[in-house]
Amino acid sequence: MMRLNHRQAQRYIQSGEKLGEKQRVRLMEHLNACEVCRDFAAFHNQIEQSMPASFPHIEHTQGQILEIVGKMQPKMRKVVMSKRVGKGIQAIAWAGLIVLLVVGLGWVIRTFIPAEPGVDLTPTGIAQITPESTPTPEVAEQATPTLVVEATSTPDAQIDDGIQPQPAGGLLPPQAHFRAGKGRITQYELSNDARWVAVGSSAGVCLYEMESLVEVWCDAVSIDARGGVSSIAMNLEGTLLAAGTWNGNLAVWEVQTGLRLWSLDTYRSVIRALAWSPDGSKIAVGSDATSLSLINALNGEQLESLRAGRVGVLYAAWSPDGKFLAGGDFFGQVFIWDAESYERVVSFETTPSETPFSLTGLEWTADSQALIITTGYYFCQGEDCTPEYDGQVSLWDAQTGEQQVLSEVGMLPFSPSLDALGSTLAIGIFPGHGENNGILIDMQSGQTLAEFPGANRNYGLQWFPDENRLFLPDRFGRFAVINTQDGELLEQMIRGYEPFSGLAWSPDSARVAAISGQQNLVVYDAQTGDRLFTSQLLPGTRHVTWSPDGNQLATIGDELQIIDANSGELLRSALIPENLHYYWYGLEWSPDSSKVAAITVEGQLVIWNAMTWEHSGTISTGGDNFAWSPDGSRIAAGFNQEHENRIVFWDVEAGVELDTLDASGWVSNISWSAQGDRIATGSGGWLEIWDAGDHQHLMRVLGEHSWGIERVALSHDGELAASVAGEVILWQIDSGEQIATLYGLNETADHLSFSPDGTSLAATTRDGSLLVWDVSEFH
């Protein structure tokens, strides 16, 4: 039985698909035999125990950590196992390792760094608290953000002299002339009157009418906002909307018009919490900095910076009467300030120090006398244990810090939301139990009144103003409205937030095909973005390829399906050979129209005759990506094992290996020019261009990306190359110079491809975007 390589094992784990017995055995053999894997797994378990994956407040933090883990693991593997890795890659790997160590040692920081004055950290974590009477506010040193405002017309809202708002510009980044998809949803906000719902995503902010779900406007918060919107909030009147991003941008819009009143570019760090003062004049901003900032809501001027805990501010909330401001940090320390003098009134610990508890929600009671705080933790001891969860809903007196436990929750509670009367508290529960993953709590007795379904993760649940309905959204644009009186559940969906996979250009460059997250094949006009047709596909379909004559499309999932490229009609299906129903990693029609090939995660290249649609051969390439030669007689396949990374050339008819090229790192994908004279690969962090004849390097550059190169593309004339990892970089091959950076991608690109005429470049991403840029000026 052939042993898995690292990439195959990683993809088995990350695919989310149920593994067969054979696959599970091979995966376990790989992990047991791989010393680096065991070391890495042990280290990652330590990280999980110190910062549990189930903490709702790190819904995005955990995602970023896993993303870093996924991206750094190949780099660390290369440092240990490859003699060809340069010192630059080693430095990157060690930097990533240090980042993970810092996160994992958070509990050590909490335990050994002395507490702030006035906070008595007892062994149980419930402090003996005395009110603080510091005469002046604690002001943290912080870099002054840059105010960015573009001039257009002034709206009716009161704006300081010299500040001119800008209209919402949509989600289309510079140089892109077509976008499908609005990214991956990260935040929701329902206005208090339930008239509007704002959606923050990896692409920007969109506003919808709640009743009709008609889009009112969309705007990108910044050109290159990594991960998009990290926090979002409306003022009480529902007239202004604020949003912060993962790279520290902050902006405020007029809700009805979409006019951006001002923006701060760049702030200090990830903006994790936004809270409007009841009078709408100030915004409290919590970030990874150790302070809570107060911003003038009308012009973006920073008013105060209030020192909080030892780690970032996760939650912020103003009391309903506007007299107090509360903030909570990652490890459960809560601070309350007087909203006029900015003196700290009290601070207290909400979580026991000896357990990995976390603050998971913070909200004021209707009378402004206490804070509703949810905390919880996850624990798992030993290698084979089942994770267990525990949580608590408590009231904390805003003056004395005394605690009253409302409810002991058998799961992890988050997103507390109090109805307008202040009598009923709604709590989301993670990971849920059965179909019901939310509870209603009576504020007087602390008793659980009812359970309800639909509280998905930490995307925020909110009460409607009629006090009988709850708004329960998820990350895919779906949301539920539940009537808490009769249990009636209404499910709806805001369209446009489905992920994309697969990408194929029509031979005339006029159309582009992609596969949406709902297993639909969608064909667009490449210039206007108009949707030409949609076809329903089989489950598991992730790849599409266009026939050289432009009349057919092929897709692969449970079957190979052939679709009419003009009508979307299914023409026929071709059977997949037995024992090859694996996770597919590529599908390409041969340039000579005679064959279609697909490659599995295990490196099996499966070939069909494009006339009879019979299986005509299988080549064990040992890789997971490939490219056809222009004449269709050969394929180049990436071969990645523990100690070697190569490009292997195969004779398709004979199924024999012809030649090899040594790559500089893990071969992520291969692109062959239409003339057949050049080959491009993403090799670890390197972009490599070879002469396809003598195999000499034409270009070898270390990509200047946010992380290692994930995909490369070569223009059909072989003059331009594109590499992507967070952003797209265009390269002039003859000179070896970087000539442009294209923004708009905030997550991993699954596919990157130049149009056949070379005027456009397209990419699909896992965050829900299909982008097409105009690159004609660079030829």
Residue by residue, DSSP assigns 358-409 as EEEEEEE-TTSSEEEEEEEEEE--SSSPPPEEEEEEEEEETTT--EEEEEEE
Separation CA 75–CA 92 (nearest Å): 8
Quick one: which of 477, 476, 481 has its CA closest to 452? 481
Residue-wise pLDDT tens digits, 410-449: 778 888 999 988 999 999 887 655 566 788 999 988 898 9
Give me the pLDDT at residue 163, please.
46
484 neighbors 471 (Cβ within 8 angstroms): no
367 neighbors 158 (Cβ within 8 angstroms): no
The confidence band for 386, taking pLDDT boundaries of 50, 70 and 90, is low
Single-letter code of the amino acid located at 728: V
Give me the pLDDT at residue 592, please.
93
Q: Which stretches of 386-505 are DSSP H helices?
A: none
| CB-count burial class (<10 Å; 0-12, 13-18, 19+) for 410 | exposed
Give me the pLDDT at residue 145, please.
40
pLDDT reading at 556 higher than 50: yes
Give me the pLDDT at residue 746, please.
72
Query: What torsion, rounded to 10 degrees, do the Cα atoms 427, 428, 432, 435 define?
Result: 90
Separation CA 386–CA 9 (nearest Å): 22
Residues sharing a CB contact under 8 Å with residue 538, sequence separation 6 or more, in sequence order: 519, 557, 558, 559, 561
| 127: its two tokens | 């402090």
How is residue 495 annotated by DSSP?
Answer: S
Residue-wise pLDDT tens digits, 215-274: 999 998 876 656 689 999 999 999 999 999 988 889 999 999 999 999 887 566 889 999
Separation CA 604–CA 588 (nearest Å): 14
Q: Mean per-residue pLDDT for 722-729?
A: 84
* Residue 624, SS3 per DSSP: coil
* Strand partners for 659: 649
Query: What torsion, rounded to 10 degrees, do the Cα atoms 446, 447, 452, 456 define?
Result: 30
Looking from the CA of 294 toward its CB, the CA atoms found within 13 Å total 25
- Among 23-27, 539-543, 636-640, top mean pLDDT goes to 636-640
Residues sharing a CB contact under 8 Å with residue 518, sequence separation 6 or more, in sequence order: 498
Q: Mean per-residue pLDDT for 734-740?
A: 89
489 neighbors 748 (Cβ within 8 angstroms): no
Separation CA 86–CA 80 (nearest Å): 12
Average model confidence (pLDDT) for the chain? 77
pLDDT over 90 percentage in the chain? 38
pLDDT reading at 188 higher than 50: yes
pLDDT reading at 144 higher than 70: no
| 602: its two tokens | 């295990």
724 neighbors 685 (Cβ within 8 angstroms): no
Separation CA 233–CA 271 (nearest Å): 12
Separation CA 545–CA 314 (nearest Å): 45
577 neighbors 615 (Cβ within 8 angstroms): yes
* Strand partners for 229: 245
- Among 117-131, 479-493, 503-517, 664-678, top mean pLDDT goes to 503-517
pLDDT over 70 percentage in the chain? 73
Q: How many CB atoms lie within 10 A of CB 578?
A: 7
Give me the pLDDT at residue 142, please.
41
Q: Mean per-residue pLDDT for 17-39?
A: 47
435 neighbors 453 (Cβ within 8 angstroms): yes
Give me the pLDDT at residue 70, please.
40
Residue-wise pLDDT tens digits, 619-656: 998 888 899 999 999 999 998 887 788 899 999 999 99
Give me the pLDDT at residue 384, please.
65
Question: Residue with structure tokens 């020192």?
Answer: 307
635 neighbors 647 (Cβ within 8 angstroms): no
| 318: its two tokens | 């103003």
- Among 170-174, 262-266, 656-660, 747-751, top mean pLDDT goes to 656-660
Per mean pLDDT, which range of 394-403, 416-425, 428-437, 758-767 is the poorest?
A: 428-437
173 neighbors 220 (Cβ within 8 angstroms): yes
* Strand partners for 713: 722
Residues sharing a CB contact under 8 Å with residue 445, sequence separation 6 or more, in sequence order: none
Residues sharing a CB contact under 8 Å with residue 91, sequence separation 6 or more, in sequence order: none
| 57: its two tokens | 């407040």
Residues sharing a CB contact under 8 Å with residue 216, sequence separation 6 or more, in sequence order: 196, 207, 208, 209, 256, 258
Single-letter code of the amino acid located at 566: N
Per mean pLDDT, which range of 139-148, 256-265, 323-332, 554-563 is the poorest?
A: 139-148
Residue-wise pLDDT tens digits, 602-614: 888 999 999 999 9
Separation CA 146–CA 265 (nearest Å): 5
* Residue 104, SS3 per DSSP: helix
Quick one: which of 222, 74, 61, 198 has its CA closest to 746? 222
Give me the pLDDT at residue 436, please.
62
* Residue 284, SS3 per DSSP: strand
Separation CA 117–CA 119 (nearest Å): 6
| 590: its two tokens | 């041969």
pLDDT reading at 618 higher than 50: yes
**114-123, Cβ contacts within 8 angstroms, sequence gap of 24 or more:** 116/309, 116/347, 118/344, 118/346, 118/347, 119/333, 119/347, 119/348, 119/349, 121/349, 121/353, 123/353, 123/354
pLDDT reading at 1 higher than 70: no
> H or E stretch including 522?
strand 520-525
pLDDT reading at 130 higher than 70: no
How is residue 665 annotated by DSSP?
Answer: S
419 neighbors 467 (Cβ within 8 angstroms): yes
Give the residue with greater pLDDT, 522 vs 183.
522
> H or E stretch including 204?
none
Single-letter code of the amino acid located at 488: E
Q: In what order do the strands lie in the sheet with 595-600?
A: 584-589, 595-600, 604-609, 615-620
* Residue 299, SS3 per DSSP: coil
Single-letter code of the amino acid located at 689: I
Give me the pLDDT at residue 411, please.
77
Radius of gyration from C-alpha coordinates of the chain = 27
Give the residue with greater pLDDT, 496 vs 8.
496
* Strand partners for 286: 273, 292
Give the residue with greater pLDDT, 339 vs 624.
339
CA 454 from chain center: how many Å? 22
Separation CA 629–CA 539 (nearest Å): 30
Question: Residue with structure tokens 């709806």?
Answer: 492
Give me the pLDDT at residue 458, please.
55
Give me the pLDDT at residue 355, please.
57
Strands (E) located in 227-369: 229-234, 240-245, 250-254, 260-264, 271-276, 282-287, 291-296, 302-307, 313-318, 324-329, 333-338, 344-349, 358-364
Give me the pLDDT at residue 437, please.
76
Single-letter code of the amino acid located at 420: A
CA 575 from chain center: how many Å? 35
The confidence band for 116, taking pLDDT boundaries of 50, 70 and 90, is very low
